[in-house]
Structures are given as structure tokens and as C-alpha cells.
Amino acid sequence: MRIALRELARTILDTRVTAVVGQGGVGKTRIALGAAADVAPTFRHGVVAVQLGDIPAEAPGAVPPTATILARVRRLIGPAPAGAGGEGPSDRTGSARADLLIVLDNAEHLPSSVAAAVRELLNAYPRAHVLITSRRSVTERLGVSHEIRPLPVEPVSDDGSPRAPAVELVLRGAGGRGTLAADLVRDTPAIVELCRRLEGVPRALEFAGERLRTIPVRMLLAAGPALPMLRTNDHSLLPHQRSVASSIRWSVDLLSEDHRRLLRQLCRLPATVFTHEDVVAADGPKRSDVDSVLCLFSDLVDHALVTPCRDRTYEYRLAPYVREVIAAESEPPGRPTAA
């Protein structure tokens, strides 16, 4: 974690626009805000953080919410007092002298609006830097993308801990004391397996940790863990962040119908790992359509609904639980679906 923060902090200081990208629930906001706190003393006027996740997604034909984004930023920055010549907080940021870091959190559903807002902010505040969190790249031509990966499931040799970061997060989420804590430590091999099945995705691990307060790990594993188990009642999170299923649906809802059709076809593939040739065969296009199918597939990877295999070039698999969510949405009316 500290290594990731240091690397991101260096990137923030070296370039005016940094985008923290990664799949839903991978910890982009946590790492971005941690790095922002680390570099805050470098910026004379500190950091402002703007939440974008509650702004409705861009829609064809609708006015892009660029003005809404800028208004939120400027409301936090504050106007410069008329005729002021001091260097106090109110004067700092309402003028072109503002020296600060602007964080735009949860931007994946507003790509055009965020790109336009960033350009305007860079022009309005020549000393400002911008840090964006998004499930996909939204400003790649304006700056640098910094990818966040899931937590290691195996111990990391240079962090001094006998347990893997993923396991530590589950144990913290369980918050066990006394007998429960001892039981969880004794069940560490099973918790490692739980982390493997959840592929080290922090939010899913936190949900699993909450379940461990009342459900033994052996029963979580026996159930999968099932998709409905991976949720929380923590209303400090945005609605699409409160369950693994809702998080996946949020990403799927940002797709075009052509993207969704291809994703449904991929969910029907019998193999867990597939290649570009499998993608083309699954879609069943005419040869003239192959190029467009591959472009659609690249977009699914960009949205982190399909993930590259780390140890095999040009081989892919569906992100965890995508198949289950798509299958649930395909159920006939009246059939129960995952929460």
C-alpha cells in the first residue's frame, strides 16, 4: 500500500493530470485520497476533492454536465474577494494564483464532461494539478493513467507482514476479538482461498469480512461465496458501491447495446479463459464485422468487465461475478435475481 501511494504521489507531482484507473472496488478512491494527503503540503493551497458519482451519466442528445462539475469544484475553491491582495484561504483559490490539487472522484460515467472540465480547470488555474479516479481512462491524452491492481493474495516479501495484504484486509473487515479473532487466525488457509476466489478485489474482500462476523468461512466457501452475500448496509457508500452486483451493473449500464450483446455472448463461452479468436467466434460475425467486434471487445476490457490474464498475453477472462450478474439479468420476469 505504501509503495503504491509513493508511486502515485510522484506521478501527481510530475504531471498536471493523473487518472487513477482500475476495476470497480479495487480501491481507487482510497489510494487517490491517501496520495493526495501525502502531497498536500507540496501545494500551497492544499487539496479539494469533488464527488462525481451522484451526477447522472452522460446521455446521447443531453447537455453534458460539464458546468455541474465546474460549479462543484469552484464552490469548494471559493471566489476571490473583490480587491483582495492577500494570500489567505479565500483569495488563494478563486484566482489564477491557486496552487492546489483538485481531486475528481468517480468519473467513469462522465468521460466527455470530465475531459472538458479538466481542460478548463487547467487553463483557469495554471498552478493546479488534477487527480481523477475512474474505472476507465477518461483523460489519457491530457496526462498519465496510473492503474490500480487487486491486492496480492500471497504474502509480499518486502512489507514485513507474514500475511498477504488481501488476507489482512479480510481480517480487519471481520473485526474479530477474543474467540472470533483466534478462530479467524486458525482458519487462515481457508481465508486465503476466499481471497483467491474474490481475486484480491478490496471491496469484495471487505464485504466478505463483514460476513465473517456472523458466518464461518467454511460456509462462505461452500456457497461460493454467493453473489448476494457480497454487499453491505453502509450507506456512506454510493448506491452502486454497496454490493458487488450493483457495482457490476453500474459498469454494464454505461455500455451501448452492441457492447452488452457481445458481453452476453462472452458469458456463454464454456471456457473460463478465452482469446480474440474465441471472441470473434462467440459473436458469430461476418468477416467484414470482425474489426468492429474486436473494438467492442477492447472497450469491455477498458471497462474492466473483461480482464487480461496476468501470465498469458492476449488471453482474457470475465471479471469476477460478471457472468452471474448477466445471467441474473437474463432471467425471465418473476424469477429472483441477486441483490
Q: What is the mean pLDDT of residues 138-157?
A: 86
**Separation CA 165–CA 174 (nearest Å):** 14
274 and 142 together in one domain = no
The predicted pLDDT at position 186 comes to 85
pLDDT in tens, 170-200: 998 888 666 677 778 888 899 999 999 999 9
Residue 177 in contact with residue 168, Cβ under 8 Å? Answer: no
Q: Round to whole Å and give the CA distance between 67 and 267.
A: 38
Q: Residue 279 has which C-alpha cell? A: 471472441
List the one residue out of 46, 49, 51, 38 whose CA is nearest residue 93: 46
Instruction: State the chain's maximal CA–CA distance in angstroms.
Output: 69
Q: List alpha helices for 155-269, DSSP H.
A: 165-174, 179-186, 188-197, 202-211, 217-223, 244-253, 257-267
Residue 156 counted as domain residue? no
Higher pLDDT, 283 or 152: 152
**Band of the pLDDT at 90, cuts 50, 70, 90?**
very low
**Do residue 69 and residue 139 come from a single domain?**
yes
**207 close to 224: Cβ distance less than 8 angstroms:** no
In one letter, which amino acid is 264?
Answer: R
pLDDT of residue 84: 40
**So what's the pLDDT on residue 185?**
80
Same domain, residue pair 113 and 173: no
Its domain, for residue 79, covers: 2-147
Number of domains forming the structure of the chain? 3
pLDDT single digits (tens) 225-278: 999 999 999 999 999 999 999 999 999 999 999 999 999 999 999 999 999 999
Q: Is the same domain home to 211 and 260? A: no
Where does residue 198 rank: exposed (0-12), middle (13-18), buried (19+ CB within 10 A)? buried
Read off the pLDDT of residues 49-89 as tens digits, 9 standing for 90 and up. 999 999 999 998 899 999 999 999 999 997 654 444 444 44
pLDDT the model gives residue 89: 44
Share of the chain above pLDDT 70, in %: 87
Distance CA 169, CA 203 (A): 9
For residue 315, what is the domain's CATH number? 1.10.10.10
> Quick check: 148 pLDDT over 60?
yes
Per-residue cell: 190: 481457508
91 has a pLDDT exceeding 80: no
- Write the pLDDT tens digit of every residue in 31-53: 999 999 999 999 999 999 999 99
pLDDT band, very low/low/confident/very high, at 162 (cuts 50, 70, 90): confident
Does 6 lie in the same domain as 68? yes
